[in-house]
Structure 1
Amino acid sequence: MPRAKERGEGKPLQTQDSAWLDSLVDELYSRMAQGEHPGLAFLLEALLNKIMERERARFLASLEGQGEQANGFYPRKLHLTLGQLNLKVPRVRYAKAFRPALLPPKWKRVDKDYEELLIAMLANGYSQAQLQRALASLDLPFSEEALEEAKALIQDRLDFYKSQPLKADWFAVFLDAYWAKLRTEKGKLVDLSLFVAVGIDLEGRKEILGFWILEGRESKGFWVQVFQDLMARGVHRVLLFVTDDFRGLGEVIAKLFPYAEHQLCLLHLERNLRAKLSPSGYKEARETLRRIRHARDKEEGQILFGRLVEGVKGERPGMAWEMEGKRERYLAFLGYPAEVRGYEPSRLDANFDVG
């Protein structure tokens, strides 16, 4: 078996500018601008759509011989704090009373409890009794049989995402993280980290590459396992990784995918600056970041980033030193043509945020 590094080396991946990049940016990057978690939202969206479709099949089977039949889907947007779910809600032709039980009524505001329920089902973090109590408190009429089927479907899909063969070449891989606290049956709070890898292939198609659950926080060893998993399933070359500044990740990408570019989110950097700098220092840094996003090219971006580092150094020399060491990863987006950087002019890195 070849060394892991050899699997990711190859030659630098080339891609042509094409129309699909605009729709790619429109669909995915713009959701990241608000600090959402589009990778996890995309996963939940796919799972909910599948669960609702399965529920319609069960409903139609119960009315077999009565002339009832499927009648397509209608779109519904479900707004969660982790991002927007673009759902395809199944319909039947005659029964007006049919509505997927896991879908909140349109008039009901979706709150954090509903989001926590979805995360718990995803992470298998609740017992059967906890799930039933949560469903009852949310007034979701989900039967025990339907709950068992939904849990089995989720596990089946997650197993698929962990084992499916993958294409060799990818335009971009987004690594999305979501941290949750779930309460066990005994009342203990457990810290969970959920990671989703979403790939964009060379034709602009979006695909879930993998899903990982970790108790506690990530480490370099964890990222080695993640990338060895992706490479074992076929990933060979990636043009661009888009991530938050996860601990140990940059070193692993540089070793296993030395030709790939790695973009860190400027939005996350801006949040850190706001937390660490004085109001006047942050105001100046925010304006410099805005100008970096508007930079004509990488040369201008380099000059502006140097000014940003110098400004931060006066108040936070340690932070400035760390920023300087990650300069190229913060400015990777400036190596792409302007039309690729963002659907809205100069919104690229706000749109890159996966934190």
Structure 2
Amino acid sequence: MLSVVKEDGSTATGSLIDDIVREGARRMLAAALEAEVDQYIAELTGERDDKGRRLVVRNGHHRPRQVTTAAGAVEVTAPRVNDKRVDAETGERKRFSSKILAPWCRKSPKVTEVLPLLYLHGLSGGDFVPALEEFLGSAAGLSGPTVNRLTKQWQADHTAFQARDLSDVDYVYVWADGVHPKVRLGQAHSCVLVLMGVRADGRKELIALAEGLRESTESWADLLRDCRRRGMRDPALVAGDGAMGLWNALAEVFPEARHQRCWVHKTRNVMNALPQSAQPGAKKALQEIYNAEDRDHAAKAIKDFAKIYGAKWPKAVKKITDDEDELLAFYDFPAEHWPRFVSGEFALIDLAVRP
């Protein structure tokens, strides 16, 4: 399913990239706030009382707070500063005020546009600074050396993520997507190829991502081969949009994996091939397929759909009948997981069990 970031910072489904965004936003914002406070205290290290004690020191952290982003709530735990200095004119205590957090809160929807680019380009120095300013809303609280230090820190994190061993993880389900961020940062056709996996214990996590063309078999094959080299085994089922170059690559690199076409995207394709007057009835007929009690009933619902709409709109029907096996693959897996594949929300709560 293609996830294009819209003007408001949301995605078409809000399901795949959101978890990447939330966790990445939390980690990056936490590191930036810590660096901002470190810099603030370092600049005032010479401020001392008559006994030589520093007037500006760290004082733990504030209580966690939720900051709303386009991808959902992100928990922020900002560092606390104990500033004992007194303003000579007003007589009031001076206070540390983050130059990052307030602007970031106001501009938080940008996170869904920028964060994929930060991953995509490996947090490279050339792209990082403008992306950081977009991400944080302002880099005013960070000096050049601090930005360089954060860049190196995140580059190390990114390198470790891209090289980590996958041999000890059993990904039962994998969701593949091609994400086109709105913010280009000089890249005319940037696309992030994303693999999200669900472990055998039901935990969902980002597996890998890379720059590429979503329609290109070779782009997907390069990403899959890298995962194979790092020890990843064939998943039981891979879900995604039928228009991607993923499927030929998957057959080459992970030939034992079953294929599941995305119903959200498929429904949209069918509706586009029908006149508006026929769409409500057709949508209900498609629901009869993917909400069927079992695979046999779903197959019968496909025949009914073809019988009703095939004479007038054969192209719309062909979109379903040509991909029947891939559309109904999820029926061979535990029934409690079926709604997740139908909705496009690849977030399993229950234990994922290989059939």
1:72 deviates by: 6.7
Following superposition, the deviation at residue 85 of structure 1 comes to: 4.2
Match of 2:291 in 1: 294
CA contact (8 A) 2:133 2:139 kept: no
Query: Which residue matches 2:66?
Result: 76
**Alignment-derived partner of residue 91 in structure 1:** 78
Q: Percent identity?
A: 18
TM-score of the two chains, using structure 2 as the length reference: 0.72
Partner of residue 304, structure 1: 301
1:1-355 correspondence runs (5 A): 35-62=12-39, 63=41, 66-71=56-61, 74-80=64-70, 84-94=71-81, 97=96, 99=98, 101=100, 104=103, 106=105, 108=106, 110-111=108-109, 115-124=112-121, 127=127, 130-131=130-131, 134=134, 138=137, 141-145=140-144, 146-166=146-166, 167-182=168-183, 190-214=188-212, 216-342=213-339, 348-352=341-345
Q: Aligned letter for 1:286?
A: K
Q: CA RMSD in A?
A: 3.4
Deviation at 1:297, TM superposition (A): 0.6
The change in CA–CA distance for 1:119 and 1:254 in structure 2 (over 3 A counts) is: closer
For structure 1, the 5+ residue unaligned runs are 1-33
CA distance in 1, matches of 2:338, 2:228: 27
Taking the aligned partners of 1:159 and 1:86, their CA distance within structure 2 comes to 27
CA distance, structure 1, for counterparts of residue 14 and residue 293 of structure 2:
29
Task: Return the letter of the residue paired with 1:226.
Answer: L
The code of the aligned residue for 2:30 comes to E
Q: CA deviation at 1:141?
A: 3.5
Which letter maps to 1:90? Answer: T
- CA offset digits 1:173-198 (Å, max 9, x no partner): 1213211354566xxx7111112212
Would you say the 8 A contact 1:52–1:100 is kept in 2? no
Equivalents in 2 of 1:71, 1:133: separation in Å? 24
Letter in 2 for 1:52: L
Q: 1:170 & 1:129 partners in 2: Cα distance? A: 35
Question: C-alpha separation between the residues in 1 aligned to 2:81 and 2:183?
Answer: 40
Shift of residue 233 of structure 1? 0.7
**Counterpart-to-counterpart distance in 2, 1:37 and 1:152:** 30
Aligned to 1:238, the other structure's residue is in SS state coil
In structure 2, stretches of 5+ residues that fail to align are: 1-10, 43-53, 83-94, 348-355
Q: Taking structure 1 as reference, are residues 277 and 97 closer, same or farther at Cα in structure 2, changes over 3 Å only?
A: farther
**Cα distance change on mapping 1:205 and 1:246 into 2, 3 Å:** same
- In structure 1, the residue corresponding to 2:242 is in which secondary structure? coil
The whole-number CA distance in structure 2 between the counterparts of 1:73 and 1:122 is: 29
Q: Distance in 2 between matches of 1:134 and 1:238?
A: 36
Q: 1:198 to 1:328 in 2, by over 3 A?
A: same
> Partners in 1 of 2:102 and 2:231 — Cα distance?
36
Task: Check the 8 A contact 1:117/1:131 in 2, yes or no.
Answer: yes
For 1:327 and 1:341, locate their aligned partners in 2 and report how far apart those are by CA, in whole Å: 16
Counterpart in 1 of 2:8?
Answer: none
Summarize deviations over 1:49-77 as a string: whole Å, max 9, x none: 22222234324534376452333762525
Shift of residue 147 of structure 1?
3.9
Measured in 2, the distance between the counterparts of 1:323 and 1:157 equals 43
Displacement of 1:98 in angstroms is 5.0
Q: Deviations over 1:293-324 (max 9, x none)?
A: 32111110111122334445334434533432
1:216-241 per-position Cα deviation (integer Å, ceiling 9, x unaligned): 54311122212111111111131221
Q: Deviations over 1:135-189 (max 9, x none)?
A: 79x556453534444444443333223211113521211213211354566xxx7
Partner of 1:25: none
TM-superposed CA distance for 1:348, in Å, is 4.5
Secondary structure (helix, strand or coil) at the match of 1:286 reads helix
Secondary structure of the equivalent of 1:198? strand
Question: Deviation digits for residues 85-135 of structure 1, max 9, x if unmatched?
Answer: 4423122345675548267455x3645x55434344444497577558757
C-alpha distance after superposition, 1:14-71 (max 9, x if no partner) = xxxxxxxxxxxxxxxxxxxx84354433223232222222234324534376452333
TM-score (norm 1): 0.72
Which of structures 1 and 2 has the larger relative contact order (alpha carbons within 8 angstroms, sep 6+)? 1
* Letter aligned with residue 350 of structure 1: S
Contact 2:178–2:214 (Cα < 8 Å) also in 1: no
Matched residue count: 307
